[in-house]
């Protein structure tokens, strides 16, 4: 019998390989074959072969926390389609280029398993239509084109008096998802959310039922931006993981247009899209920063930039490039070619200055030499042409890529510290009528700039250090991955700044994770509220310290990580009202602080199991990227982020104060 099953398995494998050109992407009979294979995966060689291929070609990164790649366990939460898109067209394409389509398909089958993922949508559909399609609560990443991430207490419906009564009202768990990163938009009683499988949902925000859904080519990465064109037509605009931009109708969710926004094959949209006067401004990053960790990768040819699109049809209007085209610079110590300049990714969301007809962006480090003055900088661009108006370089000669995590040959000599500007620039009004631009950096520095400098170089008004993440490099471990990550918030004359600061064994580095309130006029610290782990974690289980144990076969169980997360700092973007500051942690805790004193007023733990309202058992995890949004007495939190060895999860959690509609 075993021989017969093995023979059937081999025949089936031959059939799969013969139809490999349509593996996982076509309808019957391929789905029938795949279904049979998955039902008998314990007896057939498909999953086994996929596992062996993964061990041979993928495990060196995904089983190594130092590489900051999703773990094998986290990847097992992805859908087959998501894995295939990543291997065929996305971030993993350069690493998987030597594999055949059939081999990539076997890896996808091994990782994804066979659990059905979409049946719940129809079963959880709404019984009645939306009653309010007009009130715009959350329309873009920064809750306004100035990126202040501020909502009035009246619109938020949550204040100092009632925040302590926030309770979980409903939850949704999203199958085959491990990262919750796309900030939702809220119009009336509908919440629009994108997930990593490429689905866009219109959700009744009071009950959690599904009004409508659609699916795009790959996972949705950016915030959902609500656009009102000059002709009055509304659109939802967002980016997927293959750097395609979509505009869809908010009622029907039908696609209006789609446009690729790549500069290079490794281009990716990490920030979100800004809108002004029938134009979209798209920040372009590059995952070559990660690919360069592969010793076979020719480093580095890509750079970041900004692309302006016509919001009515997606046509390109102009492009700004962070560096000139890369040329051959020499060879690395292993004899591989080195190209440069490169890098200068833009993973912040552009800030709109309509009065000056400018947009402001923050940039990342160079990936290879020569270094450029556009790296680790705040850049002002003309909104009509994309031409450089001025720039402020906060840190020169920061040249770094993922090869520096393990001393790889692609790591530049005298590497820098990986001190991007990821938090979007905030445009602030001073009491005397003046204005400031506020920027937070992964080095732990916060800068205030004059938006009207005299020349090409930006003008610094004040500078404050909230973290000492910006210490000298250490090629054994390189970046601290601390400082300011995704976003600050401005409420009146208070700037709220979150610091991530993981524990790293590094000379002169003392982690300082927590929330800071700075005075807008001069940057003085008004208060600081530290966050702590609150539990004990064994030294050998700490990611950077325990690498030798990992290589020796010791596995850190995910359940233990949920119980006590190594990461607990504040990386996600902050959200503020006149009275409150919401800031979420990498340990899955969502907190509300008093904006006047910094006192903790409310806290909820999300890195745990949930029996979600859509009938699925889900699990929360790290809260990163967008964190939370609010509307009319409701707080919506996305929990789960598996990148960088953090806690995977798949939850949308809706909290409600007493008396909220």
Angle at which helix 30-39 crosses helix 45-57, to 10 degrees, equals 90
Mean of pLDDT values over 97-122:
78
Rounded Cα gap, residues 48 and 110, in angstroms: 7
Mean pLDDT of 576-594: 99
- State residue 9's pLDDT score: 43
Do 201 and 260 belong together in one domain?
yes
For residues 370 and 438, state if they share a domain.
yes
CA distance 265 to 63: 26
**358 and 447 both lie in a single domain:** yes
pLDDT of residue 115: 58
Q: What's the mean pLDDT in 202-222?
A: 96
Q: What is the pLDDT of residue 1?
A: 40
Please list the residues that pair with 262 across neighbouring strands: none
- Smallest CA-to-CA distance from 302 within 396, 366, 377 is with 366
- Residue 562 located in a structural domain: no
Owning domain of residue 283: 139-532+568-656
The Cα 602–Cα 582 span in angstroms is 9
Higher pLDDT, 26 or 619: 619
Per mean pLDDT, which range of 133-147, 365-379, 382-396, 471-485 is the poorest? 471-485
Please indicate, yes or no, if residue 661 is contained in any of the structural domains: no
Band (38; pLDDT cuts 50, 70, 90): very low
* Integer Cα distance of 97 and 95 in angstroms: 6
Highest averaged pLDDT of the listed ranges 404-413, 487-496, 549-558: 487-496
Q: Which CATH number belongs to the domain containing residue 645 in this structure? A: 2.140.10.10
Residue 546 has pLDDT above 70, yes or no: no
Averaged pLDDT for residues 367-385: 99
- Cα 402 to Cα 334, 378, 405, 415, 551, distances in angstroms: 16, 23, 5, 11, 19
Instruction: List, for residues 79-100, the tens digit of each pLDDT value.
Output: 766 786 677 656 677 778 788 7
Same domain, 176 and 296: yes
Kindly indicate the confidence band of residue 35, based on its pLDDT and cuts at 50, 70 and 90: very low
Please give the pLDDT value at position 262: 94
Q: Which residues are CB-contacts of 252 (< 8 A; sequence separation ≥ 6)?
A: 212
Collapsed DSSP state (helix, strand, coil) of residue 220: strand
Contact 463, 448 (CB under 8 A): yes
- 95 shares its domain with 243: no
Kindly state whether residues 205 and 60 are assigned to the same domain: no
User: Alpha-carbon distance 63 to 70, whole Å?
Assistant: 8
Tell me the two tokens of residue 68.
Answer: 């900051």
- Residue 554 in any domain: the answer is no
The model scores a pTM over 0.85: yes
- Total domains in the fold of the chain: 2
Q: How far apart are CA 572 and CA 7, in angstroms?
A: 52
Q: What average pLDDT does the chain have?
A: 88
Assess if residue 91 is contained within a domain.
yes
Q: What percent of the chain has pLDDT over 90?
A: 70
Same domain, 222 and 280: yes
3-state DSSP of 439-481: EECCCCEEEEEECCCCCCECEEEEEEECCCCCCCCCCCCCCCC
Whether 99 and 164 map to the same domain: the answer is: no
Residue 326 pLDDT class (50, 70, 90 cuts)? very high
| pLDDT at position 580 | 99
Please check whether residue 652 is in contact with residue 626, taking contact to mean a CB–CB distance below 8 angstroms: no
Q: Whole-angstrom Cα distance, residue 298 to residue 288?
A: 10
Tell me which of 488 and 555 has the higher pLDDT: 488
Band (187; pLDDT cuts 50, 70, 90):
very high
Mean pLDDT computed over 7-23: 39
Shared domain for 578 and 633, answered yes or no, is: yes
Residue with tokens 């700037």: 495
| pLDDT score of 27 more than 50 | no
Q: Are residues 516 and 606 in the same domain?
A: yes
The reply to whether 553 falls in a domain is no
* pLDDT value for 18: 37
CB-based burial, 489-516: b 16+ in 10 Å, e otherwise: bbbeebbbbbbbbbbbebeebebbbbbb
What residues contact 18, with CB distance under 8 A and at least 6 apart?
Answer: none
Size of the chain, expressed as the number of residues it contains: 661
Instruction: In whole angstroms, give the CA distance from residue 277 to residue 231.
Output: 10
Return d(Cα 572, Cα 570) in angstroms, integer: 6
Give the pLDDT score at 312.
Answer: 99
Confidence of residue 596 (pLDDT cuts 50, 70, 90): very high
CA atoms within 13 A on the CB side of 585: 29
The residue that leads in pLDDT, 156 or 546, is 156
Shared domain for 103 and 224, answered yes or no, is no
Closest CA to 488 of 583, 383, 382: 583
Would residue 101 count as lying in a domain? yes
**End-to-end alpha-carbon separation of the chain, Å?**
62
Of 167-181, 261-275, 497-511, the range with the lowest mean pLDDT is 497-511
Total Cβ atoms within 10 A of residue 107: 25
Rounded Cα gap, residues 266 and 656, in angstroms: 41
Looking at residue 376, what DSSP letter applies?
T
pLDDT (average), residues 219-237: 98
Same structural domain, 160 and 273:
yes
d(CA 582, CA 600): 10
SS3 for 195?
coil
Q: Rounded CA gap, 540 and 546, in Å?
A: 5
Q: What is the pLDDT of residue 303?
A: 99
- Asked whether residue 560 is domain-assigned, the answer is no
At 471 the pLDDT is 62
Give the max Cα distance, the chain.
Answer: 86
Q: Which positions ≥6 away from 137 have C-beta within 8 Å?
A: 151, 155, 186, 187, 629, 630, 631, 632
For residue 374, tell me if it sits in a domain.
yes
Q: Give dist(CA 487, CA 499) in Å, integer.
A: 10
């Amino acid at each position: 019998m075993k021989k017969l099953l093995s023979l059937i398995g081999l025949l089936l494998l031959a059939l799969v390989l013969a139809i490999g050109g349509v593996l996982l992407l076509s309808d019957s009979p391929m789905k029938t074959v795949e279904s049979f294979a998955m039902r008998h995966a314990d007896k057939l060689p498909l999953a086994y072969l996929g596992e062996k291929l993964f061990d041979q070609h993928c495990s060196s990164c995904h089983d190594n926390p130092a590489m900051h790649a999703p773990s094998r366990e986290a990847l097992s939460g992805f859908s087959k389609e998501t894995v295939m898109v990543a291997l065929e067209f996305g971030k993993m394409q350069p690493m998987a280029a030597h594999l055949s389509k059939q081999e990539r398909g076997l890896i996808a089958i091994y990782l994804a398993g066979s659990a059905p993922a979409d049946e719940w949508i129809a079963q959880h559909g709404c019984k009645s239509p939306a009653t309010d399609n007009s009130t715009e609560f959350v329309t873009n990443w920064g809750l306004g084109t100035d990126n202040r991430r501020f909502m009035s207490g009246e619109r938020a419906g949550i204040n100092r008096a009632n925040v302590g009564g926030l309770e979980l009202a409903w939850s949704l768990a999203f199958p085959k998802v491990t990262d919750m990163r796309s900030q939702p938009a809220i119009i009336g009683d509908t919440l629009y959310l994108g997930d990593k499988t490429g689905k866009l949902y219109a959700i009744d925000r009071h009950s959690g039922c599904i009004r409508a859904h659609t699916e795009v080519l790959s996972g949705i990465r950016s915030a959902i931006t609500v656009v009102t064109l000059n002709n009055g037509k509304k659109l939802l605009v967002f980016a997927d993981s293959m750097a395609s931009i979509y505009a869809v109708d908010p009622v029907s969710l039908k696609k209006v247009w789609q446009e690729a926004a790549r500069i290079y094959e490794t281009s990716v949209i990490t920030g979100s899209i800004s809108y002004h006067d029938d134009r979209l401004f798209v920040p372009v990053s590059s995952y070559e920063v990660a690919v360069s960790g592969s010793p076979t990768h020719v480093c580095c040819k890509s750079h970041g930039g900004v692309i302006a699109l016509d919001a009515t049809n997606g046509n390109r209007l102009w492009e700004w490039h962070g560096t000139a085209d890369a040329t051959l610079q020499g060879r690395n110590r292993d004899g591989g070619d080195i190209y440069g300049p490169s890098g200068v990714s833009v993973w912040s969301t552009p800030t709109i200055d309509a009065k000056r007809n400018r947009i402001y962006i923050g940039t990342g480090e160079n990936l290879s030499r020569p270094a450029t003055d556009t790296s680790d900088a705040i850049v002002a661009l003309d909104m009509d042409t994309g031409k450089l108006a001025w720039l402020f370089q906060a840190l020169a000669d920061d040249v770094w890529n993922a090869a520096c995590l393990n001393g790889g040959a692609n790591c530049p000599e005298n590497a820098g510290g990986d001190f991007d500007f990821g938090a979007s620039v905030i445009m602030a009004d001073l009491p005397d009528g003046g204005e400031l631009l506020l920027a937070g950096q992964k080095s732990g520095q916060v800068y205030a700039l004059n938006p009207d400098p005299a020349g090409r170089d930006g003008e610094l008004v004040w500078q404050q250090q909230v973290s000492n993440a910006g210490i000298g490099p250490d090629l054994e471990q390189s970046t601290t991955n601390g400082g300011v990550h995704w976003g600050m918030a401005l409420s009146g004359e208070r700037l709220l700044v979150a610091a991530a600061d993981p524990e790293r064994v590094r000379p002169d580095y003392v982690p300082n994770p927590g929330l800071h309130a700075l005075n807008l006029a001069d940057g003085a610290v008004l208060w600081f509220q530290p966050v702590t782990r609150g539990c004990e974690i064994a030294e050998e289980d700490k990611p950077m310290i325990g690498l030798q144990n990992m290589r020796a076969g010791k596995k850190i169980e995910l359940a233990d990580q949920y119980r006590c997360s190594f990461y607990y700092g504040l990386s996600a973007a902050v959200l503020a009202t006149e009275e409150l500051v919401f800031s979420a942690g990498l340990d899955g805790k969502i907190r509300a602080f008093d904006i006047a004193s910094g006192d903790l007023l409310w806290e909820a733990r999300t890195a745990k199991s949930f029996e979600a309202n859509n009938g699925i058992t889900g699990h929360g995890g790290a809260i990163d990227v967008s964190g939370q949004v609010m509307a009319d007495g409701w707080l919506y939190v996305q929990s789960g982020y598996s990148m960088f060895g953090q806690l995977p999860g798949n939850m949308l959690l809706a909290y409600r104060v007493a008396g909220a509609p």
